Structure 1
């Protein structure tokens, strides 16, 4: 177990540095990724409320693209994650321009807390596999939020293609695969939805 945890820790550090270099040297990749997400969302007719994130550690910034998506139809909205006691995570409604405050994880959360239940949750990844498993920061917040199949929203993992980690880590028993993965190449369905290398 210790060896597996150490390998994950080393892989996480390597991929974080890889992501940092990509973000600094090729900012156009993040913009391209965000545009793919916006275009893909336009095809999801049953998605009206999107849970996303405020970027830290050089994560791709989706806010401009998601703001554009929201502005096209009044029924659309956004929500941001708020982590509570025991690292439990819920989402709260947020509109572009509303005040944000910093939480204990140094992410930005809505100052006014209005709980929401997104149709789609977008999560940043340190690394990902073709089967939709994501390597995060190790807190397990997303896995705990998604563990109830009855209330589970659609899920989209976001990462750079260079952070694809097939064969580099084994999913833990509690890891829950995401439905789609978005990179600068496009949005790919996973978890048996179609072939692992089909982007659109």
Structure 2
């Protein structure tokens, strides 16, 4: 992930949106720690009561709280609009469609952010999570890249 992002953008001026892995999702915390060590701003999602998700600027050394879904999220911090979002997924296809858990948090957030600024979305997955085809609706947001343990799709 780090090598790919260094090729396509100047990371020093960017905010990276990550996630706290749960349910056997591919982990991104080591990647986020590497960004933090290099003084690149990181953020993690926090779910609001109205089924919306915001990214909160944070440090992995700060305390987290567990939300209603059992996912750790920043306990405090400023809402930010990431330039690059690392996206968890349940499954994906070669057309860069992703299947999440069905609540649409990431789809709504990505759609909203794209109206504000240019963003890069990167799905992180294991190779075995690839399906021939993912069912999509008009609300589903296609990713820019999907990085697996074996490939980079774009």
TM-score (norm 2): 0.89
**Unpaired segments ≥5 residues, structure 1:** 1-36, 190-200
Please give the root-mean-square deviation of Cα atoms over the aligned residues, in Å.
1.5
How far residue 86 of structure 1 moved from its aligned partner, in angstroms, is: 2.9
The match for 2:95 is: 131
Matched residues, number: 150
3-state DSSP of counterpart to 2:35: helix
1:38-57 pair list within 5 angstroms: 38-47=2-11, 48-57=14-23
Deviation per CA, 1:64-94, whole angstroms, max 9, x where unpaired? 122113322x3x1110001113311110011
| Runs of 4+ displaced beyond 4 Å | none
Q: Which moved more, 1:39-48 or 1:158-167?
A: 39-48
User: Structure 2 matches for 1:173-192, cutoff 5 A?
Assistant: 173-189=138-154
- Counterpart secondary structure, 2:153: strand
Maintained 8 Å contact 1:40/1:187: no
Structure with the largest fraction of strand? 2
- Separation in structure 2 between the aligned mates of residue 52 and residue 40 of structure 1, nearest angstrom: 15
Alpha-carbon separation, structure 2, partners of 1:181 and 1:82: 23
Q: Tell me whether 1:113 sits opposite 2:63 in the alignment.
A: no
Q: 2:35, 2:42 within 8 Å by CA — same for their partners in 1?
A: no
Question: Whose helix proportion is higher, 1 or 2?
Answer: 1
CA distance, structure 1, for counterparts of residue 20 and residue 94 of structure 2: 25
CA shift at 1:188, angstroms? 2.1
Matches within 5 A, 1:30-41: 37-41=1-5
Runs of 5+ consecutive residues of structure 2 not aligned to the other structure: none
In 2, the alpha carbon distance for the partners of 1:180 and 1:88 equals 24
Q: Which residue pairs with 1:166 in the alignment?
A: 132
Report the equivalent of 1:87: 51
Could you say which residue in structure 2 is the equivalent of 1:154? 120
Q: CA deviation at 1:138?
A: 0.3
| Contact 1:42/1:69 (<8 A) preserved | no
Q: What's the CA shift for 1:105?
A: 1.3
